[in-house]
Amino acid sequence: GAAELGPYRHFMQKEIFEQPRAIADTLDAVESVTPELFGDGAYRVFKDIDSVLILACGTSYYSGSTAKYWLESIAKIPVSVEIASEYRYRDSVPNPRQLVVTITQSGETADTLAALKHARSMGMNHTLTICNVATSAMVRECELAYITRAGVEIGVASTKAFSTQLVGLFLLTLSLAQVRGHLTEAQELAHLKALRHLPVAVQAVLALEPQVMAWAEEFARKENALFLGRGLHYPIALEGALKLKEISYIHAEAYPAGELKHGPLALVTSEMPVVTIAPNDALLEKLKSNLQEVRARGGELFVFADSDSRIESSEGVKVIRMPEHYGALSPILHVIPLQLLAYHTACARGTDVDKPRNLAKSVTVE
């Protein structure tokens, strides 16, 4: 009811603004990095595995896609990420030493549950879930679990569940890194410090809402949008595009920026807004040349740049300045303005934000 909404217009907006609290709660019980965060016996499992298979649907698939970058670079373990409905029906090569990780807000998504059972039926018995509902079927089915503390999520388009899944997946990365001998004590402390600072950092990004609203007015008049990111921000671009299409009904696609010249550049005209995630990371210079390719074809750029990125506004280039680059956890900050952009664009178009047409919060049948 209206009372629960407080000052917010929709549950989605409320849930976006709850993220500092949701992240803090998800980290609440974490005193140090240890496999036991995932349950009794996790150490033995983490010692035994040689790779990770992530299974999920929708937004949860994109948190898993982000985690692949973390797991391979920090824990140095091979990872594959697969859409649950694809995995369950294809012939694959089972690996009993692979850790099967399901990611699910509800813990009840039919395809994800079926994919888990499919993996198990092929002899893959090391299972772990990152889930927001402690009493769900998925938590009961898996050997190990990390329960995110986003709280009840009502908006069909997932927001706080996504950012807390990323927190859980980062802790999984650190725990696996530790067991595999790739995490010094100093690194552990530095990562924990960055995690604990996240609520404050997210709060600072939420303060950009008025600037994002001004962009949303322009987006509301478009029918297409392209999202670009590179590296671990490519899945964030995918998530930004998904949010926009789900609730504003604007056709949106995401591409890794290096792939522009292999197709999407053909779509770029002055009618095509191009949203770009521009963190100040190792790929920034490459990204800048991708942006020039877009500008040269008249595309209008909407850039989320870290404050230390040195990308300036100019003709056809609008910039919103994020806080300073946040290192490995940067995706958790960069997804926030994309959630706000989708939300305010949908509001400007007058859609049913919390209950977009044809979609359900939890897909418990195939």
Q: Contacting ligand G6P (CB under 6 A), which of 98, 109, 164, 351?
A: 109
362 binds ligand G6P (CB under 6 A): yes
- Catalytic: 361? yes
351 binds ligand G6P (CB under 6 A): no
Q: Residue 159 Cβ, how far from ligand G6P at the closest point, in Å?
A: 9
| Of residues 304-323, those binding ligand G6P (CB under 6 A) | none
| Of residues 47-66, those binding ligand G6P (CB under 6 A) | 57-60
Q: Which stretch binds ligand G6P (CB under 6 A): 100-108, 193-201, 271-279, 337-345?
A: 100-108
Identity of the residue, 155 or 264, whose beta carbon is nearer to ligand G6P in the bound complex: 155
Structure tokens at 47: 């010692």
SS3 223: coil
Number of residues that bind ligand G6P (CB under 6 A): 16
Q: Residue 356 Cβ, how far from ligand G6P at the closest point, in Å?
A: 8
Q: Residue 361 Cβ, how far from ligand G6P at the closest point, in Å?
A: 6
At 37, which amino acid appears? L
Backbone dihedral angles phi then psi of residue 184, each to the nearest 5 degrees: -80, 165
Cβ-proximal residue to ligand G6P, closest one: 58
Q: Which stretch binds ligand G6P (CB under 6 A): 7-15, 179-187, 205-213, 355-363?
A: 355-363
CA 13/CA 215 separation, integer angstroms:
17
Identity of the residue, 57 or 341, whose beta carbon is nearer to ligand G6P in the bound complex: 57
Q: Contacting ligand G6P (CB under 6 A), which of 112, 178, 248, 309?
A: 112
Q: Which residues contact 203 (CB under 8 A, 6 or more apart)?
A: 20
Instruction: Fill in the DSSP letter of residue 248.
Output: H
Spatial strand order in the sheet of 251-256: 251-256, 224-229, 273-278, 300-306, 317-322
363 binds ligand G6P (CB under 6 A): yes
Q: Which stretch binds ligand G6P (CB under 6 A): 150-158, 230-238, 264-272, 339-347?
A: 150-158
Identity of the residue, 157 or 216, whose beta carbon is nearer to ligand G6P in the bound complex: 157
Q: Which stretch binds ligand G6P (CB under 6 A): 142-150, 156-164, 264-272, 304-312?
A: 156-164
Q: Which stretch binds ligand G6P (CB under 6 A): 16-24, 93-101, 154-162, 310-318?
A: 154-162
Q: Residue 276 Cβ, how far from ligand G6P at the closest point, in Å?
A: 24
Neighbours of 152 (CB within 10 A): 11
SS3 254: strand
CA 17/CA 159 separation, integer angstroms:
9
158 binds ligand G6P (CB under 6 A): yes
E-only strand ranges, the chain: 51-56, 79-83, 98-104, 127-131, 144-147, 224-229, 251-256, 273-278, 300-306, 317-322
Parallel/antiparallel/unpaired status of strands 51-56 and 79-83? parallel
Structure tokens at 95: 């690996």
CA 142/CA 323 separation, integer angstroms:
38
Residue from 222, 245, 288, 361 carrying the catalytic annotation:
361
Backbone dihedral angles phi then psi of residue 315, each to the nearest 5 degrees: -55, 120
106 binds ligand G6P (CB under 6 A): yes
CA 111/CA 55 separation, integer angstroms:
9
Q: Residue 84 Cβ, how far from ligand G6P at the closest point, in Å?
A: 8
Closest by alpha carbon to 92, among 55, 62, 128, 67? 55
Q: Which of the residues are catalytic?
A: 361
- Contact residues toward ligand G6P (CB under 6 A) are 57-60, 104-106, 109, 112, 156-158, 359, 361-363
